[in-house]
Structure 1
Amino acid sequence: MPIEKLVKATLLTDRQRFDNVVTKLIDFKLFHTIEVGQDRIENTEEYIQTLSRISAEIENLANELGIKREFGVMDYLTNKVQVKTYSYEFKDFRELVEELKKKISELQINLSPLIENRRKFNKELIEALNYKQNLEFVSKIGIDFETIKYLKRFFVLLVVVNSKTLLELKRSLPEGVLLISEKVKEDVNIALILSKTEYAEKISRIIGGLELVQIKVPEEKISVNEEIKKLEKKIGELRQKITELELKISYESKMRYFDIISLYELASLQYLNILNIKIARPLKNYVILEGYIPKRYKSDFEKIFSSDCFLEFEEVKEKDAPSLIVNKPVIKSFENITFMQGPANYHEIDPTPFVFFFFSLFYGFMYADLGGGLLIIALGLFFYLRSAGNLRQWGILLVTVGCASAIFGILHNEFFGFPIPFVHYQPVIELVKHGVGLNPEGLTFVLQISIIIGIAHLILGILLRLINGILASNKEDLVLAIAYLTFYISGVFLLYGLWVFGMNIGAYSSSQQAILGIPAYLYSKIFSISALIGLILILLARYIAKRLEGEEHIEAKELLGEGAMEVFDSITRLLSNTISYLRLAILVIVHSVFLLYLGSVVNLYLGNPIITTVVVGVALVLGNLGIAVLEGFVVFIQALRLHLYEWFTKFYYGEGKPFRTFNNEGLITKVKFKLNK
């Protein structure tokens, strides 16, 4: 599929209409701003600052309330998320920003006092607990507040100090200052400092510098134990207040959970949208914007913006233009695989439709089981119906590959290791004779089919390189693709003929027997010569490409050296790539062997029919679930590997620049503007 064709649009508008243009651009969505400079006007700077502040405030509020703004797979699997969608409609962008200000203000009024009080009471609780612990240390060593109060003519301090800091404290105190310490637990000491009042300020600075905790002596006449009891009462009251606040906050969090997530998405999306608005050239009274739009929407764009802007369009000639990839929903889900290699270039075919077909084919071929396919479909439907965002795309992908598994399961007549119930027919691919074992003819068939599929897949990859070379005027890709096609197709036919003659080269090269309607001796010569031509083309490809591009100074020796390496690499790589597709057959055979061994438990008898039935039933259920999980994952990885390492490397660069749209849709949030167009 070609990438969406674009045109370059230039918009000239006055500053008074700029807000209106911004609103229309965000609503239009499909406008990729060209970042000529970083200039912005006052309106956008104001919006950026406001939306940035609102996003930060909502994020802090969500953190305080323990609200997750993103959900993972486990959240959906454990049914912790009930997705709720929000749709907003605004007259223009300014109204959106004002509404956000209003909403965050209401949230702050209702929730900030609760959060602030919780923070305050938690701080008081920590201080009270620490003070209580320190008083318990004081009580443990027998110091009483009444005794300290008798020392009115002296400066007296009680501090908590660790062993290392205690040594530093002793060295720091002036001469004539008395310091008595006692260890109350591991690396914790209570120190009593006694000095003349004239040293009070200096000692206080030392205590502050060492960041020591002072034990406050109450003003009223009270013993240490009485103070501890008083603190215990206060701690109980604080805990009660905190519990009440937690209940209120938990209730508010539950009631406003998705409201807050939605507002956060709304602010974040529009912050990114307004950040995307960059003017091409600053003028005194006017604003110029430049960007790309889909060519097929050019007339719609003119209708929407002609009342506010002067418009100018030109054809896209830039090689580094962004790529707008548009696929149908089912095919779009496979973009997750394509984008592992990066998006396609503007002058490149998007391979996602081919990925959709072949990935599904590979998955179904390797995991051919109607029951397993239905399990994967169920998992995919769960993600699609219960999740949001990119997880829904993965849900569609799982449903697709599950359908492929189910179809191949029907072809194999396979349902969790048994024939499909209530239906009796001869399987199209009989890999297993149920109750007997593996079918040798079926094994040979799947091995042959896997190689044929691999050859077709690799030829498609090289053909795509040829087409991409034409589209991008890349002479090197064009010549190399022709060379590879010539060599590979010739090699395939050559090896096929050799296989027909049981690898007997002598008979192959001299026999009159027809292969595909051509005498073998002639057939072998034709494809030997064409394969040799292909290798010569590979050797000279870079040199020929430079000539076609009209370069005057060509390093012929260097290019021929690279070509020689390419010849050796192409022979080994194409052979190993083709053999790699045998994993399609190997994995479906492994699947059949697993199910054969698992199916053998039906012959088990434990002396009691009830116990036997229960044990066999549990073994079959758990065994099939285990096989489904293990094989479902392994098969996915192998199908992925065949694309990433065997196929994409034949043609795909994946160095495209994604088309940067304006986004009005988040995980649970949708925005529309009712601006007159």
Structure 2
Amino acid sequence: MATADLKLGTVILPRSESPRAISRLTEFTWFHKIETDNDLVTPEIDDLLLEAQKAFQSIDDVVKGLGIPPIVGIMEILFKGTVIKKKDYEIDEIEDMVNYLKETAPSIIDKPAELLEEAANTKLAIEEFTSLKETLEVIKKMKIDLTGFGLMKYFYTNLFVINSSDFEEISRSLEDITFYKYDLENKEKSALLIISDSEDSEKVLKVLRSFNSNAFTIPQGMPQVPSDAYATATAKIKELTEKQSSNKKQIAKIKKSLRRDILSIHEKALVAKDVLESLRKPGGTKHFAVIQGFIPKKMEKKFQDSTEQWTSVVEEVTDPKLVNELPTLFDNKRFVRTFEVITKSQGIPKKGESDPTPMIALMWPIFYGLMFADMGHGLLLMGLGLLFKVKGQGNLSRWGMLIAISGASAAIAGVGTGEMFGFHLDHMGPLE
């Protein structure tokens, strides 16, 4: 068959009842809304959309944090045997779906979200303590207590770490100021303990900053003796690393156990958000909304029955602008639909163009069987395709059926040519 004939469906209703209209229109597998230039928003839809967006964002953050792919990939199916079975979900009103997400999502995502937040905080703490440890590495043998260092009433005291090569020039710049030099393990670095009048503090800071050196400080809550602070930082890093390892194991475990539930509510939230966004600004006036869209001709009665409580009209598409915007809807039999993935990969036909899918469905198995005529390889290919068909999701399942049909045609042609795994059938031991 060619592409489906489309008609223009219009619904006129009070704007406050738009959410109910959305619920009815989503019953159609094929309703292509026409975008309108309208800035009028519907508060009832906006409120639902806000809740749907918040639910989706919180779920999406967990999905990304756990690194869960939206569909099961080919390699995972082959080597791990992972399969997530389809689960049907029915609901009367879009509002009920949003409320369902608000009530159900926390029980599923709260624990993973808590673990992800804990893992992020642990990672940040490890980075901070590692940076502190690397700094303390330079002066870890010093037994000076830094508590109280800084600007006092009459004196200024502080510790600076400088490049050893800059010491001579710094000492000349601070010739009137008392300081002590400490040699460190790293010969390229030296420590300067500055003791000066409070009036000279600005001069000291200005000179040391010109050599890219700032006052050395140890964060509050840590021992202020460098050697003790270094030991504490090392112990903290070890403790946090063990905690991080434990978090990773818990996250991997919860990812495996809740993967299906998380993906299920993620898809529901995405559908609710997308539907509400697409119908957020229906045309019309302040008090009445006008929703227009393309529907298949064969669904005309169903459209009118679902929208009978409002004013609805189904008409032929005559407006030249709308004719140019007509989408393409395939309308093929079940077997032929398997081959639509080939048509889509090469280019979807426009309105008025013939659909090549039926011809592809006829010729593909014939030509593939003739080119790949081998019973053994064909059966293996058919088995692989059926595996993808049964365990795959979305387009992978459709491609799996196509591969299975191709394998079956190759196996049948292989019987005709007498080929199996590259050998003639009469040369195979069991068949001699």
What TM-score does the superposition give when structure 1 sets the normalisation length? 0.54
1:255 partnered with 2:257:
yes
Question: Residues 161 and 6 from structure 1, CA distance in 2 versus in 1: closer, same or farther, beyond 3 angstroms?
Answer: farther
1:362 partnered with 2:367:
yes
Instruction: Quote the Cα distance in structure 2 between the aligned partners of 1:323 and 1:103.
Output: 37
Q: Which amino acid aligns with 1:258?
A: R
Residue 3 (structure 1) aligns with: 3
SS of equivalent residue, structure 1 residue 145: coil
Residue 333 (structure 1) aligns with: 338
Shift in Å, 1:326: 2.3
Residue 80 (structure 2) aligns with: 79
Q: Which amino acid aligns with 1:294?
A: P
Instruction: Quote the Cα distance in structure 2 between the aligned partners of 1:25 and 1:213.
Output: 68
Instruction: Quote the Cα distance in structure 2 between the aligned partners of 1:388 and 1:88.
Output: 17
Count of matched residue positions in the alignment of Structure 1 and Structure 2: 415
Instruction: Quote the Cα distance in structure 1 between the aligned partners of 2:111 and 2:354.
Output: 54
Q: Which amino acid aligns with 1:295?
A: K
The residue correspondences of 1:34-433 to structure 2 (distance < 5 A) are 34-39=34-39, 40-79=41-80, 81-107=82-108, 109-139=110-140, 143-146=142-145, 153-159=155-161, 189=189, 192=192, 194=194, 196=196, 197-198=198-199, 203=205, 214-216=216-218, 224-277=226-279, 281-307=283-309, 309-317=310-318, 318-420=323-425
Instruction: Quote the Cα distance in structure 2 between the aligned partners of 1:371 and 1:219.
Output: 72
Residue 639 (structure 1) aligns with: none
Q: Share of identical aligned residues, percent?
A: 25
Instruction: Quote the Cα distance in structure 1 between the aligned partners of 2:215 and 2:247.
Output: 29
Residue 30 (structure 1) aligns with: 30
Shift in Å, 1:366: 1.1
Question: Residues 62 and 193 from structure 1, CA distance in 2 versus in 1: closer, same or farther, beyond 3 angstroms?
Answer: farther
SS of equivalent residue, structure 2 residue 72: coil
Shift in Å, 1:398: 0.3
Residues 360 and 400 of structure 1 are in contact (CA less than 8 Å); yes or no, is this contact kept in structure 2? Answer: yes
Any stretches of 5+ residues in structure 1 without a counterpart?
422-433, 435-598, 603-677
Q: Which amino acid aligns with 1:94?
A: E
Residues 158 and 215 of structure 2 are in contact (CA less than 8 Å); yes or no, is this contact kept in structure 1? Answer: no
Question: Residues 147 and 3 from structure 1, CA distance in 2 versus in 1: closer, same or farther, beyond 3 angstroms?
Answer: closer
Q: Which amino acid aligns with 2:11?
A: L
Instruction: Quote the Cα distance in structure 2 between the aligned partners of 1:226 and 1:87.
Output: 61
Instruction: Quote the Cα distance in structure 1 between the aligned partners of 2:102 and 2:37.
Output: 30
Residues 32 and 293 of structure 2 are in contact (CA less than 8 Å); yes or no, is this contact kept in structure 1? Answer: yes
Question: Residues 218 and 34 from structure 1, CA distance in 2 versus in 1: closer, same or farther, beyond 3 angstroms?
Answer: closer
SS of equivalent residue, structure 1 residue 155: strand
Residue 649 (structure 1) aligns with: none
Instruction: Quote the Cα distance in structure 1 between the aligned partners of 2:42 and 2:223.
Output: 68
Instruction: Quote the Cα distance in structure 1 between the aligned partners of 2:25 and 2:346.
Output: 30
Larger Rg: 1
Question: Residues 282 and 381 from structure 1, CA distance in 2 versus in 1: closer, same or farther, beyond 3 angstroms?
Answer: same
Shift in Å, 1:179: 9.9
Instruction: Quote the Cα distance in structure 2 between the aligned partners of 1:161 and 1:294.
Output: 78
Shift in Å, 1:38: 4.7
Summarize deviations over 1:593-616 as a string: whole Å, max 9, x none.
xxxxxx9xx9xxxxxxxxxxxxxx
Summarize deviations over 1:375-406 as a string: whole Å, max 9, x none.
11011011111211110011011011112211
Residues 33 and 278 of structure 1 are in contact (CA less than 8 Å); yes or no, is this contact kept in structure 2? Answer: no
Instruction: Quote the Cα distance in structure 2 between the aligned partners of 1:97 and 1:36.
Output: 25
Pick 1 or 2: higher relative contact order, CA cutoff 8 A, min separation 6. 2
Residues 20 and 93 of structure 2 are in contact (CA less than 8 Å); yes or no, is this contact kept in structure 1? Answer: yes
Question: Residues 300 and 161 from structure 1, CA distance in 2 versus in 1: closer, same or farther, beyond 3 angstroms?
Answer: farther
SS of equivalent residue, structure 1 residue 348: coil
SS of equivalent residue, structure 1 residue 313: strand
Residue 588 (structure 1) aligns with: none
Instruction: Quote the Cα distance in structure 2 between the aligned partners of 1:338 and 1:350.
Output: 8
Instruction: Quote the Cα distance in structure 2 between the aligned partners of 1:128 and 1:382.
Output: 50
Question: Residues 181 and 62 from structure 1, CA distance in 2 versus in 1: closer, same or farther, beyond 3 angstroms?
Answer: farther
SS of equivalent residue, structure 2 residue 132: helix
Residue 651 (structure 1) aligns with: none
Instruction: Quote the Cα distance in structure 2 between the aligned partners of 1:134 and 1:280.
Output: 61
Residues 320 and 346 of structure 1 are in contact (CA less than 8 Å); yes or no, is this contact kept in structure 2? Answer: no
Shift in Å, 1:51: 2.3
Any stretches of 5+ residues in structure 2 without a counterpart?
none
Residues 18 and 45 of structure 2 are in contact (CA less than 8 Å); yes or no, is this contact kept in structure 1? Answer: no
Summarize deviations over 1:504-554 as a string: whole Å, max 9, x none.
xxxxxxxxxxxxxxxxxxxxxxxxxxxxxxxxxxxxxxxxxxxxxxxxxxx
Instruction: Quote the Cα distance in structure 1 between the aligned partners of 2:67 and 2:159.
Output: 42
Shift in Å, 1:301: 1.3
SS of equivalent residue, structure 1 residue 154: strand
Residues 222 and 232 of structure 2 are in contact (CA less than 8 Å); yes or no, is this contact kept in structure 1? Answer: no
Instruction: Quote the Cα distance in structure 2 between the aligned partners of 1:374 and 1:19.
Output: 51
Question: Residues 8 and 215 from structure 1, CA distance in 2 versus in 1: closer, same or farther, beyond 3 angstroms?
Answer: same
Residues 179 and 192 of structure 1 are in contact (CA less than 8 Å); yes or no, is this contact kept in structure 2? Answer: yes
SS of equivalent residue, structure 1 residue 322: coil
Summarize deviations over 1:114-147 as a string: whole Å, max 9, x none.
33333333322222233223222213xx543259
Q: Which amino acid aligns with 2:9?
A: A
Residues 158 and 216 of structure 1 are in contact (CA less than 8 Å); yes or no, is this contact kept in structure 2? Answer: no
Instruction: Quote the Cα distance in structure 1 between the aligned partners of 2:124 and 2:77.
Output: 36
Name the one with the larger helix percent. 1
Question: Residues 368 and 284 from structure 1, CA distance in 2 versus in 1: closer, same or farther, beyond 3 angstroms?
Answer: same
SS of equivalent residue, structure 1 residue 88: coil
Summarize deviations over 1:75-96 as a string: whole Å, max 9, x none.
2222262313333332311111
